[in-house]
Structure 1
Amino acid sequence: MAGRLTTSAELIGWWAPLTLLWMVLIGPVDTLEWAVGAGAGLVAATAAVGARRAAGGR
Structure 2
Amino acid sequence: MARRLTAVSEVAAWWVLLAGLWLFLIQTVDALECWVGAAAALLAAVAGRAARKAARR
Bin of the TM-score, shorter chain as denominator length: over 0.9
1:55 aligns to what SS in structure 2?
helix
Across the two proteins, how many residue pairs are aligned to each other? 57
1 CA distance for matches of 2:29 and 2:22?
A: 10
TM-score, length of structure 2 as denominator length: 0.94
Other-structure match for 1:36: 36
Percent identity reads: 51
Q: Where do residues 5-16 of structure 1 align in structure 2 (5 Å cutoff)?
A: 5-16=5-16
2 CA distance for matches of 1:3 and 1:15?
A: 18
Structure 1 residue ranges, 4+ long, deviating more than 2 angstroms after superposition: none
TM-score, length of structure 1 as denominator length: 0.92
- 1:19-52 CA-partner distances (Å, limit 9, x unpaired): 0111111111011011000000001100100000
Q: Where do residues 16-55 of structure 1 align in structure 2 (5 Å cutoff)?
A: 16-55=16-55
User: What residue ranges of structure 2 are gaps of 5+ in the alignment?
Assistant: none
RMSD of the alignment, in Å?
Answer: 1.0
